[in-house]
Structure 1
Amino acid sequence: MSKKKAINFDLSEIADGGVQVKLNRALQQVADNILDPNTDPTKKRKVQLNITLAPNEKRDASDVTVEVKTTLAPEVGVPTTMLLGRDANGNQLITGLNGRQYLLDHDGDAALLNDPIIAHPLQLNQLTSLIEWLESEGSSINDALKIHVISPTKVEVIGNLAKGGQRPCFAEVRAVVDSLNLESYLDQESMIIMLQSHFEENDDRNIILKVVSNLRDESIHQQTDDGVSQSVQINSGVASVDEVKVPNPVKLIPFRTFQEVDQPASKFIFRMREGMQSALFMADNNQWQVEAKNNIKRYIQQLEQETFGEIKYPVIA
């Protein structure tokens, strides 16, 4: 029996060295994966070399297909917390790994902020508390602090404009006020409660309160109305009836801003209709807001003078 001659295969010669190149590339991928600190170091890696031979009928030639597959260790998950918020311009703020903050604009583009925005400003409800906080911590903040009166019910302590185009907010003061049910008709009881609980006492409020409190359902039918003022008959005693003329507009002082400052007066149009219903309509084009913001500014400056002996932090209204 004749001894078969062995056929020697050299990977460097198959496909003109292409198989060797594929194998070397796969081994390099495995080495890189092992050295990657984001992967599990003990996880097994694999390199699989598949050689497929398809001989012809004469057995003197064969088509050879070579595949090299790698099995690598996946990256290990990194647990973190992402804080989401928005800045004053509506851009989304994202705080991710290592507390670094990114600005995501309306186009979805993200930019790293070198001077991060304060994600959670200090929340306060009184202007005196704001000055107390500034006295305690203001000098320790490495920024040129300013007090911005945003509205009659909101004040912020802000810093300089950051490189990312945003301005940090360190503290926020919001007034605790109830909403006013204006420009809608209320029944007799609701109007009386609103006048007594949401308005300071003055002559015009007392006139309206007297009218509303003594209205009779049939008296609305007996009113006179010239488009400016209304006259209506009300009960003034057990058996007497008086006619009261309600001036328009009336000057009232609602509670609409911080209780520590003077409440601005506004003009209102007072109207009545059948069913003992009445309503107040604003008639000053919201000019009270300008007065309220100036009152807040003066009050804060007064507190600064009393506390620091000067206006240490500029007030912008």
Structure 2
Amino acid sequence: MLKEALQYIIGLKRPEIVETKDGKTYTPVSLTRLDREHDVAPIELRSLSGLVDYVQSNFDHERKLLIHVESPRSVRVYDALNDENDRRTYVKATAMLPSIIFERYMDRENFNVQLQACFVKNEDRDSVLKLISSIVEDNSLKTEDTGITQRVTAKTGITSVGVENVPNPVTLKPFRTFVEVTQPESEFILRLKEGPNVALFEADGAAWELNAMASIAEYLKENLAAEIADKKVYVID
């Protein structure tokens, strides 16, 4: 106890400043910075509409706000820099998205469910569903593969056989960003192999992410037009 008390008393004295010949200044005392503004725990939201409602409410203050579209799944709201060049995060919006399996083969039934539940309906999605549904459960599947396209022979009954060309690439719109904006479409390579097993491989170099972020920024600018015009809110992506 005595040792700790002495160390505390020593720590109360003004820090000793040592200046060297080269003009550099040092102190042997360890100092701790005390921020004038404490950090706040950001409000966690799951939608863009909730974020817009928060900004429009002026609930916490009327400071200028910066909205940063970090990714297709995440948006943060910051305040302006204070006198110490720090900024605080007030809101973090994270999209609620389904788990979609890419780059890995899965059985036909699970692939069918995933395609219907996690993708926006469009012409290519329906074509893929029709093709997958034509493959019967007895695993009677024959493929002719050129490396670019596949020709699939699948039994449609015990006496008939249908021949289908696998469309490649296919343009699909998985749920990959906030539901308030249009889901970005991108190209995928559809592959089938015996089992029957099916897989989708992304083929657009993740360009969809930039499109999704642009859509989010456009949504925010449209719904916060008055605040942006008054220079209270700024949106970047």
With the shorter chain as reference, the TM-score category is 0.7 to 0.9
Aligned-partner Cα distance in 2 for 1:110–1:270 = 58
Aligned-partner Cα distance in 2 for 1:167–1:250 = 44
1:137 equivalenced with 2:66 (yes/no): no
Aligned-partner Cα distance in 1 for 2:89–2:76 = 7
Asked if structure 2 preserves the Cα contact closer than 8 Å seen for 1:185 and 1:279, the reply is yes
**Matched residue of 2:58: which SS?**
helix
Identity of aligned residues (%): 35
How many pairs were matched up? 211
Consecutive unaligned residues of structure 1, counting only runs of 5 or more, are 1-70, 76-107
Superposed, 1:230-309 pairs within 5 Å as 230-236=150-156, 239-305=159-225
1:160 equivalenced with 2:84 (yes/no): no
1:115 to partner: Cα distance? 3.1
Asked if structure 2 preserves the Cα contact closer than 8 Å seen for 1:162 and 1:168, the reply is no
Aligned-partner Cα distance in 2 for 1:282–1:109 = 52
1:126 to partner: Cα distance? 1.5
1:198 equivalenced with 2:118 (yes/no): yes
- Deviation string 1:94-133 (CA, Å, 9 cap, x unpaired) is xxxxxxxxxxxxxx98432233332x11121121111211
User: Which residue of the partner structure matches residue 128 of structure 1?
Assistant: 49
Aligned-partner Cα distance in 1 for 2:99–2:184 = 16
Aligned partner of 2:39 among 97, 102, 117: 117
Aligned partner of 1:225 among 133, 142, 145: 145
Q: Relative to 1, partners in 2 of residues 1:310 and 1:143: Cα closer, same or farther, differing over 3 Å?
A: closer
Aligned-partner Cα distance in 2 for 1:316–1:309 = 12
**Matched residue of 1:261: which SS?**
coil
**Matched residue of 1:267: which SS?**
strand
TM-score of the aligned structures, taking structure 2 as reference length: 0.79
Superposed, 1:13-162 pairs within 5 Å as 110-118=32-40, 120-137=41-58, 141=61, 143-162=63-82
Q: For CA contacts below 8 A with separation 6 or more, give which structure has more relative contact order.
A: 2
Greater Cα radius of gyration, structure 1 or 2: 1
Aligned-partner Cα distance in 2 for 1:238–1:279 = 26
Aligned-partner Cα distance in 2 for 1:109–1:158 = 28
Aligned-partner Cα distance in 2 for 1:161–1:184 = 45
Asked if structure 1 preserves the Cα contact closer than 8 Å seen for 2:47 and 2:95, the reply is yes
**Matched residue of 1:111: which SS?**
coil
1:314 equivalenced with 2:234 (yes/no): yes
Superposed, 1:175-190 pairs within 5 Å as 175-190=95-110
Asked if structure 1 preserves the Cα contact closer than 8 Å seen for 2:140 and 2:155, the reply is no
Root mean square deviation of aligned Cα: 2.7
Asked if structure 2 preserves the Cα contact closer than 8 Å seen for 1:117 and 1:166, the reply is no
Q: Relative to 1, partners in 2 of residues 1:247 and 1:110: Cα closer, same or farther, differing over 3 Å?
A: farther
Name the aligned partner's letter for residue 156 of structure 1. R
TM-score of the aligned structures, taking structure 1 as reference length: 0.60
Q: Relative to 1, partners in 2 of residues 1:203 and 1:142: Cα closer, same or farther, differing over 3 Å?
A: closer
Aligned-partner Cα distance in 2 for 1:224–1:172 = 49
User: Which residue of the partner structure matches residue 54 of structure 1?
Assistant: none
1:310 to partner: Cα distance? 4.0
Aligned-partner Cα distance in 2 for 1:200–1:113 = 48
Consecutive unaligned residues of structure 2, counting only runs of 5 or more, are 6-29
Aligned-partner Cα distance in 2 for 1:270–1:245 = 11
**Matched residue of 2:128: which SS?**
helix
1:186 to partner: Cα distance? 0.3
Q: Relative to 1, partners in 2 of residues 1:109 and 1:273: Cα closer, same or farther, differing over 3 Å?
A: farther
Aligned-partner Cα distance in 2 for 1:110–1:274 = 65
- Deviation string 1:8-40 (CA, Å, 9 cap, x unpaired) is xxxxxxxxxxxxxxxxxxxxxxxxxxxxxxxxx
Name the aligned partner's letter for residue 103 of structure 2. E
Q: Which deviates the most, 152-161 or 192-201?
A: 152-161
